[in-house]
Amino acid sequence: MVAKSSLFCGLLFALSGLFGSQVDAVKSPGCAKPASIASGKYSVTVNGKSREYLVRVPEGYMHQSPNRVVVAYHWYGGTIDDLVIGANKYGNGSYYGLLPFGGNSTIFVAPAGIDTLWMNTDNEDLNFVDTIVNSVDNGLCVDTEHRYAVGFSFGGSMAHATANTRGRTFRAVAILSGNDFTPFTGETVPVAVYVQHGVSDPGVNNPITQGRAMRDHFIQVNGCEPKTASEPVAGSGTHVKTEYKNCKNGHPVTYIAFDGVHQYSPMDAGSKTSWVPGEIWTFFTTAPPPFK
């Protein structure tokens, strides 16, 4: 369940984003015709392999109205169905808890990794994402300057690869307890990046040093003014956010360290809801347009 205050803020952002997008949106080809994509699972062949992905079209969809797109990457051992259900061993909420914030103006997409992995062999996973983006752009009405990506664990690794190679396609990327396992080649340009990691993360090769390293990498890529990031003490039941907004190209970096382990929706002590979805959504909806 989303906290009332977080949901209210998210809905305000959703409404403001919707009305703003009607005026300033860079519309995809799908805005000129009735939808050719409905909610459901789809298959496509990429690099000679059959790949599957899930699309959720918002209720009340109108092809004249541009929509945001959120691409959510599952974790190792997870599936696209796991992203849709409300709870699992790593956290709570559909599409990492972002679904309630999307309102009726956000298309959610969940690609399936090969054997639940994101190894990007011969660039197959990033090519898969490119294929999905092209398909959704042509089959639905998309604001092409409002695409976002989010992933947890190995999905966070894929999000990391996306941020490093698709900064002209995605407006912002959120890396949740991720790492740099997914190899990539391509142009790295400034992009808004959100990184969160647990101070006691016991994940395989996934300590908080991975989160710090990714934070520092994008601070450098974005030309942000560096500063020391505080982190909570283990057992404190808190989280600490550090924002890097003084950046050369205007693309910020946010780093949140939390008292917790390998999870994507931690809660502070005494709280019954996670602060994470609201933080991600606020970061997404306040990020600048993709790098040109």
Predicted confidence at residue 9, as pLDDT, reads 46
Q: What is the dihedral of CA 28, 54, 185, 289, to 10 degrees?
A: 40
* Average pLDDT, integer, range 200-205: 85
**Is residue 1 domain-resident?**
no
* Average pLDDT, integer, range 195-210: 92
Phi/psi of residue 114, nearest 5 degrees: -75, 120
Domain CATH code at residue 238: 3.40.50.1820
**Is residue 85 domain-resident?**
yes
pLDDT of 90 over the 80 cut:
yes
Task: Output the average pLDDT for the chain.
Answer: 93
**Is residue 115 domain-resident?**
yes
Least trusted range by pLDDT, from 63-77, 106-120, 197-211: 197-211
* Average pLDDT, integer, range 20-49: 90
Task: State the total domains in the chain.
Answer: 1
Strands 40-46 and 49-56: antiparallel
The secondary structure of the chain, three-state, reads: CCCHHHHHHHHHHHHHHHHHHHHHCCECHHHHCCCCCCCEEEEEEECCEEEEEEEECCCCCCCCCCEEEEEEECCCCCCHHHHHCCEECCEECCCCCCHHHHCCCEEEEEECCECCECCCHHHHHHHHHHHHHHHHHHHCCEEEEEEEEEEECHHHHHHHHHHHHCCCCCCEEEEECCCCCCCCCCCCCCCEEEEEEECCCCCCCCCHHHHHHHHHHHHHHHCECCCCCCCCCCCCCCEEEEEECCECCCCCEEEEEECCCCCCCCCCCCCCCCCHHHHHHHHHHHCCCCCC
The contacts of residue 123 (CB under 8 Å, 6+ apart) are 47, 184, 185
CA dist., res. 262 & res. 202, Å (int) = 7
Structure tokens at 16: 């403001």
**Is residue 4 domain-resident?**
no
| Structural contact between residues 219 and 193, judged by C-beta atoms closer than 8 angstroms | no
pLDDT of 151 over the 50 cut:
yes
Q: What are the CA-CA distances from residue 67 to residues 19, 87, 226 (Å)?
A: 11, 26, 34
**Is residue 221 domain-resident?**
yes
Predicted confidence at residue 23, as pLDDT, reads 54
**Is residue 185 domain-resident?**
yes
pLDDT of 8 over the 70 cut:
no
**Is residue 2 domain-resident?**
no
105-137 pLDDT, tens digit per residue, is: 999 999 999 999 999 999 999 999 999 999 999
Predicted confidence at residue 21, as pLDDT, reads 43
| Predicted confidence band of residue 181 (pLDDT cuts 50, 70, 90) | very high
**Is residue 19 domain-resident?**
no
**Residue 130 structural domain:** 27-286
Predicted confidence at residue 16, as pLDDT, reads 44
CA dist., res. 156 & res. 245, Å (int) = 22
